[in-house]
């Protein structure tokens, strides 16, 4: 299994913290955010290659971080939000440049922190009829809150039957995380999706498109999940992991 970490965003909502460093390397709980993600990835014995895609502005920062971790960094050549490739475009770039067509892929957002066991998730995925993709679904428990996420509706067997990005009237409260397990057969559909002119910006759009054509299963979980996009979410995640690490909580975020 190959891992692709998506980390090409510019995190403009977190400025000035992200003026000269990527969001994914901001410290939370006393460690860079991505260190916590790698802890989860290393639960999987079958992972034999880890790739990270980022932009030209932050590629040197990621290269410094990646070397001791054995992670391969891919520079997507962009320099601002104006010329960004988007999550699906960046995934396509890594697949092509690293020769990952024909491989099982675990695709992760580099700014999602979670308690979910990837080992248990992968084992559950393999128990489903194959080929199929899978995505963990976090129950946010509130329909108003659900309007801020990509929301999935599932059948009795767990198959995703509908996916809506930030719906005004959500059909469920199951929010899609950007943690995807894709079999080789479904990795090939990324080319088709992009060739048909669909948006490369949002990975959830690809997931919904795929679910209309092929089996995609949702894995419900209720343990901790933080999708970090704002200063308040960053502070919340920092204090969550500071508690886990036995560190005192803080009333405001600091790089120290």
Rg (CA), the chain: 17
Element (H, E) at 36: helix 33-41
Confirm if 136 and 206 have CB atoms less than 8 A apart: no
pLDDT, mean of residues 193-197: 96
pLDDT of residue 42: 96
pLDDT of residue 169: 93
Domains detected in the chain: 2-135+177-244 (3.90.550.10)
pLDDT of residue 223: 86
- Per DSSP, helices labelled H in 169-253 are 184-187, 189-195, 203-211, 231-244
pLDDT digits 0-9 by tens, 86-106: 999 999 999 999 999 999 999
Residue-wise DSSP of 126-171: HHS-SS-EEEEEEE---HHHHTTSEEEEE-TTSBEEEEEES-SS-S
Predicted TM-score (pTM) of this structure: 0.94
Place 165 in a pLDDT band, splitting at 50, 70 and 90. confident
Tokens (6 digits) for 135: 């995505």
Query: Residue 19, Cβ neighbours under 10 Å: how many?
Result: 11
């Amino acid at each position: 299994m190959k891992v692709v970490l998506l980390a090409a965003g510019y995190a403009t909502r977190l400025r000035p913290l992200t003026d000269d460093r990527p969001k994914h390397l901001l410290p939370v709980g006393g460690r860079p955010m991505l260190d916590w993600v790698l802890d989860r990835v290393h639960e999987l014995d079958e992972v034999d290659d880890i790739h990270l895609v980022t932009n030209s502005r932050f590629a040197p920062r990621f290269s410094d971080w990646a070397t001791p971790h054995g992670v391969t960094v891919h520079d997507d050549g962009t320099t601002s939000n104006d010329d960004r490739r988007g999550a699906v475009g960046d995934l396509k770039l890594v697949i092509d440049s690293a020769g990952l067509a024909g491989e099982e892929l675990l695709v992760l957002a580099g700014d999602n922190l979670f308690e979910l066991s990837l080992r248990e998730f992968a084992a559950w995925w393999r128990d489903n009829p194959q080929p199929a993709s899978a995505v963990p679904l976090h129950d946010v428990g509130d329909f108003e809150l659900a309007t801020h996420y990509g929301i999935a509706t599932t059948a009795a067997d767990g198959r995703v039957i509908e996916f809506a990005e930030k719906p005004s009237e959500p059909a469920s409260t199951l929010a899609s995380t950007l943690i995807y397990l894709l079999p080789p057969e479904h990795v090939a559909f990324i080319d088709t999706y992009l060739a048909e002119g669909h948006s490369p910006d949002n990975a959830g759009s690809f997931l919904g498109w795929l679910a209309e054509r092929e089996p995609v299963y949702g894995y419900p979980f209720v343990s901790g999940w933080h999708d970090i996009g704002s200063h308040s979410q960053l502070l919340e995640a920092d204090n969550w992991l500071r508690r886990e690490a036995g560190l005192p909580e803080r009333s405001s975020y600091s790089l120290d």
